[in-house]
Structure 1
């Protein structure tokens, strides 16, 4: 018997709440599984622990239907036998917003604490890739150990144990699940399981000699086998290796030492385990909906509720916990990845939509309460404008007004606001007002819905002010006088103070930056290609047909206005209907795409809207940004800060010879921005809900969407061998529906890391909120019991040098607010002047005080910091 090799086996089950089965189905299985696990932990002293897949939602799902087991669960958690957390759900790290990942850890840790203890290991057994910033996220919650499976190869590290260091310097001791999470796959005889472990130790994947091996004793939705403890005892007497049922802490205690290598990298490589980079663009409709809700919750609603709480409207803790948890239930790798059956994807989408409806109504009612409270006793009609960012800003925003006149003026203090009409349409007031009788005789007048652009200056920092609406008679100055002028021309230019955009008769777009002199010809190109992949992975057909979109005749028009100008271009291409036609080089489908280029007064970005009604199957549409960039390099945002990437040439050169599970195609995730650098500066692309780009030698391509028809397929060009998932058809994934996309191109000078890209994209996505406090309200609510000033600013941080990640009320103290800041620069940043009137502390991810915050407190490069502000001493 060889004593120098030992298998450390951690008892667990891997629990997908949904996949090819629904959450309702898995809950039934969970009840039976949990009851068995609880009984065995209570009765078998030889079973040291059981890991609930690192996610507290399993207990929430179980105890919601078996509440009588609450005290049993608490006793086992407190004793260290049932290991819970640190996550709420096993979140994806690539397409889910960084702030959502922080909340996932926060709620997972809070829930685990309620039961007695947090498993202080960042356990991610099945995430399709690991962020470079995971060590920092974990250390933000005082977690210094990590265990993961997918994404690493020897080009990153030759060891399965190492110190993983994030760009800010945060470190976690890390172990790789060399053999995945399935040491006990299926309900097989124990000798079969142990034979498999012996074989893996003898024929291990990783190079180099080792004595200690980590195995996860379980599998997908698998119960614990009662005979395991006795079988392990017997194996230690009869087999060639040693075996120990243990906790993660036991393994780290025995195997780690001071000589571990240090690794600084993201983990997106599929040598030993498939990484599924294609999920970044699978089911764009679900990705976009989720992004919209994340932006709503983080960038608008939480700051609004924080201001309202300060003025006297009680913070809705219960609603916000419900919304966050329901949203995070859709953030698991399969769920948000879209690699489920169609029926499950519909449930994922419906769940996110439910959060959206709840959050939107909470936002609307809060705005109404603030609007009423801040205009009590005032004559006239008002629009409340709320700025969610903690610094004063100028903004061009769209207002939606319903008035019994065709003409209006907006007053901001003593000034008439500069305005540009978008549309003015007559409406039936009886169809849009809950109780038209409250209007008296005015309900019989002609009513109009106005959409207008207004330009506002000096909006209060994290606050609001009210604009007065004046109804004008038909003979007075009208908004219609400000309508943009539309013309159709063969060659078009639009220009503002910073940029000039030219479009020639072929639909080619050129962009000039007027102050830096940077210029890009033919800056955007739409390319259609085939997709022979599945819900997990894009895979180019073996003999693909690439098609460029060309401009339609007389399909370029310009609309020029005092606040913004737009160019509309209609492109068209003949596409193959499906893979069969593409292989035969046949094209039977006419596909039109409309592109709207917008240039606002004072803006330093070119807005791009893309609209289409998808008419084809099995294809992918990319918008290439042709920027004369440094060859095959890009800078993109990640859950915290920025990351620089190349074209993965070294991995691409060996993947076939080394028989990787999948090709490391340079397809990458982003949060909301990717940039290419030039000799003078560069060009950034900011996106609203698009999460994928591909690196080419001469361009960066934004994947607008991809359409495919199966959950899993075998023998793909970029993923040879077995299928992933199931061979089920998924026609919903073909996205045969209208689709729209929103981007903005922003030139910059110098390095992308010093261009403030994260701050810019935060501001672009943090649209000011508005409420016309007029006749159109979806629900009647009681008037506010508090009074608010006509204008108000909660907290001001001055000119931003770092990005604001979150502004919210503290979870454990309604009198304190939490502000999380992110430094995406290459050097550390000082907080500088702190908000006046507030006492500031530095806090961790649980919002617990770590020490005072001062003007000299620093945020490391590519780092985050949490601040807790209070007007009272803690």
Structure 2
């Protein structure tokens, strides 16, 4: 037989834990699939291996109900026949936090090692886009090979094999699944499968000639066909091509030889396979909840537990593993993408909410233990303030206090703290205290819940200190100062709030202007709210063929300004009459009155403008965007990605080709971000920070933040931007219309110079990493035993004095309670030396598994666009 073409076939199954079916349904199918697969691997010597979709959670799901097969699984993993990992779940790479992706590999590799070995290939068969930094992420775990399907076209690389290089220089040898992961689609006769393989090798659509081809012998939730080995042996005798069942390592050993092209790019293009950029904004409610929980775990709880561990409060490894794994079970591409049936999306949301509840209680109890221990024996009432970042900070933050008085004073040591009252409400103390009898006669007094803004300086680096609360009689000296509210008179042209850095004005029509007093930059008509139609589905935004855009407006009587000693605000109610659905939009008919509230906030000393938006959505099939009209110098953006920043344009060249070349979907300049996107001006630029909003769109003259989009189907056929068949299923998805109240939090930060030198990732990290507070007063959710350890009244764990790097994580090492892991990122274009190391610590470099790979000195560097893991031990 001819040997000029050879099919390398990797046995596998692609396993969505949930999609149009639930995880419970999936687990039943998995039991039958795994039992058959184990028997086949044990008894068929011609079957070299089987890939468990690159995710170790499949073994966890299986052995949780068939634990008696643990030894069988271990024997097959140790022999190299059952290939497990390196991921825990097949994570999305675009909307999931970079630290979450690191933990996904950490737990995937750890679990695979427990069974006998890790498949050292970054296998991502169905992720809706590949991050530019995936090679660095994989190399952080000593993985030097990658296999993926979606996102590439010959405009990036004409080869299906290449060296993929991340911006920091990390390389992985990469193979593209030219034909996807479904060479054995369905339970068809093997001759039919092989006919399909032959046809693909003959009529391949990727440019260039080649002899070796990679195929995945399997499909979605597909069991292995027992006749495969015999059919392959027979085909090698009767068919014109050669066929080999193999592992990825076998394929790379045979094909990835010689000099391969070097490619540096993200993979977000849908020429040969749909990329579904619309998932970045599908089900904003789930995206926001997930972002909140990621921030809770990474930016609050882990640093808090690390500090508490120093005093002997045992690190809760089991709880944290449970929280991370349960969260990552919602990070698979379909799960977090929201492209599921409503019933499955509700399970995804419930799972994330369960993690939130567990983590919040763990945070609350740990704060209470620290608060009790650090003020033991002291008279008075205290508030513990914890700074999770490893450098000293000056902050404004909100405190919630429940006191039997309207008036009080806050002291930081001997210094009286500047305060501003936000809210004060009368509460029934008997309804919010577990055991009111512990209050004695005070339970009969009037109690108040205060929300108060305080300004603090020099919070300890990765540490805490206690503020003292002095209650005042209501007739005594005034307590927290209140903001003064002013009505906007119709005859006034505008209202203004300002500090030493910024000035913000809003005219009587709601037009917002911003001045940067430091750089001299000025933006008029900076923000525009635009509502347009969405004829897409849970996978993709698609502009209706007959779209109609509607803007939001306001009048002077709907604008209020509040000037305060610490923070001033402008509150605006905008309104519009919108089309109720696509049919009304096609007729340019508007029947639904829709309002939304915008609060522009400016804190004393702040260099950024805070924006809060609230809407109770009453409209179907639409997308709401906030256009930032930044007078940008070019149609380019700089956004954060899982590691560092990436610069993007408006995809003009790809947009000009997609219809002519019959791409699977339009390469709309809709992009993912982690939490910040910026445009550069002639003098500097303007950055938009977001909390849980993951999508922006690049226009020629603006950057539009997609607040949310609402649509009513899992999948629809023949979309304007995605012609042909539907994606997913044609199921109705009314919950995805998001007929509910939605809140959004953003901030604008003007900067000078280059976006890469503006410290954007550091700034957004600080913005999201709010200090934690606990009023150690009468209101506690649970009664807990007194702490068994002693802690000082104030404490700092460690300080890193390198302002040019961003702290990605501070946590206890998974294998050593005496070691602290700190992960750093350098988003700049030059390597940065660490400089002075934390005093009293031995510092070493670690990989993603938190294993030591070398020593660290003051001269050690964090590479440009790179990350560095540190392990600190006293």
For the criterion TM > 0.5, the same-fold answer is yes
User: What is the CA–CA distance in structure 2 between the aligned matches of 1:803 and 1:859, rounded to whole Å?
Assistant: 10
2:836 equivalent to 1:815 = no
2:733 equivalent to 1:730 = yes
User: What is the CA–CA distance in structure 2 between the aligned matches of 1:89 and 1:632, rounded to whole Å?
Assistant: 36
Alignment of 1:560-571 (within 5 A): 560-571=563-574
Equivalent residue, structure 2, for 1:388: 388
User: What is the CA–CA distance in structure 2 between the aligned matches of 1:93 and 1:474, rounded to whole Å?
Assistant: 55
User: What is the CA–CA distance in structure 1 between the aligned matches of 2:572 and 2:483, rounded to whole Å?
Assistant: 20
Shift in Å at residue 550 of structure 1?
Answer: 0.7
Equivalent residue, structure 2, for 1:284: 284
Equivalent residue, structure 2, for 1:742: 745
Alignment of 1:478-627 (within 5 A): 478-479=478-479, 481-489=481-489, 490=492, 491-627=494-630
Equivalent residue, structure 1, for 2:150: 150
Equivalent residue, structure 2, for 1:681: 684
User: What is the CA–CA distance in structure 1 between the aligned matches of 2:205 and 2:30, rounded to whole Å?
Assistant: 33
Q: Is the 8 A contact 1:421 1:483 kept in 2?
A: yes
Shift in Å at residue 252 of structure 1?
Answer: 0.0
Alignment of 1:92-491 (within 5 A): 92-479=92-479, 481-489=481-489, 490=492, 491=494
1:174-216 deviation digits (Å, cap 9, x = unpaired): 0000000000000000000000000000011101110000000
User: What is the CA–CA distance in structure 1 between the aligned matches of 2:866 and 2:555, rounded to whole Å?
Assistant: 48
Shift in Å at residue 552 of structure 1?
Answer: 3.6
Q: Is the 8 A contact 1:421 1:484 kept in 2?
A: no
Q: Is the 8 A contact 1:709 1:731 kept in 2?
A: yes
Alignment gaps of 5+ in structure 2: none
3-state DSSP of counterpart to 2:558: strand
Q: Is the 8 A contact 2:802 2:835 kept in 1?
A: no
1:561-585 deviation digits (Å, cap 9, x = unpaired): 0000000011111100000111111
Alignment of 1:3-82 (within 5 A): 3-82=3-82
1:320-367 deviation digits (Å, cap 9, x = unpaired): 000000000000000000000000000000000000000000000000
User: What is the CA–CA distance in structure 1 between the aligned matches of 2:506 and 2:111, rounded to whole Å?
Assistant: 56
Q: Is the 8 A contact 2:481 2:565 kept in 1?
A: no
Which range moved further: 471-480 or 140-149?
A: 471-480
Shift in Å at residue 232 of structure 1?
Answer: 0.1
Q: Is the 8 A contact 1:391 1:800 kept in 2?
A: no
Which range moved further: 473-482 or 302-311?
A: 473-482
1:608-632 deviation digits (Å, cap 9, x = unpaired): 0001100100000000000011221
1:452-500 deviation digits (Å, cap 9, x = unpaired): 0000000000000000000001122223543433333441000011000
Q: Which runs of 4+ in 1 moved over 4 A?
A: none
Q: Is the 8 A contact 2:487 2:557 kept in 1?
A: no
Q: Is the 8 A contact 2:634 2:680 kept in 1?
A: no
Alignment gaps of 5+ in structure 1: none
3-state DSSP of counterpart to 1:222: coil
User: What is the CA–CA distance in structure 1 between the aligned matches of 2:226 and 2:688, rounded to whole Å?
Assistant: 55
Shift in Å at residue 801 of structure 1?
Answer: 1.5
Q: Is the 8 A contact 1:9 1:245 kept in 2?
A: yes
Equivalent residue, structure 1, for 2:791: 788
3-state DSSP of counterpart to 2:554: strand
3-state DSSP of counterpart to 2:525: coil
User: What is the CA–CA distance in structure 2 between the aligned matches of 1:855 and 1:294, rounded to whole Å?
Assistant: 31
Q: Is the 8 A contact 1:391 1:799 kept in 2?
A: no
Shift in Å at residue 2 of structure 1?
Answer: 2.0
3-state DSSP of counterpart to 1:112: helix
Q: TM-score, normalised by structure 2?
A: 0.99
Classify 1:396/1:799 alpha carbon distance in 2 versus 1 (closer, same or farther; 3 Å): farther
2:829 equivalent to 1:826 = yes
User: What is the CA–CA distance in structure 1 between the aligned matches of 2:857 and 2:481, rounded to whole Å?
Assistant: 52
1:427-448 deviation digits (Å, cap 9, x = unpaired): 0001101111111111111100
Q: Is the 8 A contact 1:552 1:572 kept in 2?
A: no
Q: Is the 8 A contact 1:400 1:449 kept in 2?
A: yes
3-state DSSP of counterpart to 2:204: coil
User: What is the CA–CA distance in structure 1 between the aligned matches of 2:63 and 2:431, rounded to whole Å?
Assistant: 45
RMSD over aligned CA atoms reads 0.7
1:690-742 deviation digits (Å, cap 9, x = unpaired): 00000000000000000000000000000000000000000000000000100
2:843 equivalent to 1:840 = yes
1:858 to 856, 861, 874: 861
1:756 to 747, 756, 759: 759
User: What is the CA–CA distance in structure 1 between the aligned matches of 2:620 and 2:514, rounded to whole Å?
Assistant: 33
Shift in Å at residue 593 of structure 1?
Answer: 1.1
Q: Is the 8 A contact 2:802 2:834 kept in 1?
A: no
User: What is the CA–CA distance in structure 1 between the aligned matches of 2:815 and 2:836, rounded to whole Å?
Assistant: 26
Q: Is the 8 A contact 2:422 2:482 kept in 1?
A: no
2:793 equivalent to 1:778 = no
User: What is the CA–CA distance in structure 1 between the aligned matches of 2:672 and 2:2, rounded to whole Å?
Assistant: 45
Which range moved further: 550-559 or 236-245?
A: 550-559
Equivalent residue, structure 2, for 1:698: 701
User: What is the CA–CA distance in structure 2 between the aligned matches of 1:755 and 1:673, rounded to whole Å?
Assistant: 12
User: What is the CA–CA distance in structure 2 between the aligned matches of 1:521 and 1:314, rounded to whole Å?
Assistant: 54
Paired residues, number: 871
Q: Is the 8 A contact 2:385 2:774 kept in 1?
A: yes
Shift in Å at residue 533 of structure 1?
Answer: 0.1
Equivalent residue, structure 2, for 1:714: 717
3-state DSSP of counterpart to 1:479: coil
Q: TM-score, normalised by structure 1?
A: 0.99
Shift in Å at residue 259 of structure 1?
Answer: 1.1
Q: Is the 8 A contact 2:40 2:226 kept in 1?
A: yes
User: What is the CA–CA distance in structure 1 between the aligned matches of 2:581 and 2:431, rounded to whole Å?
Assistant: 44
1:836-868 deviation digits (Å, cap 9, x = unpaired): 000000000000000001111111111000000
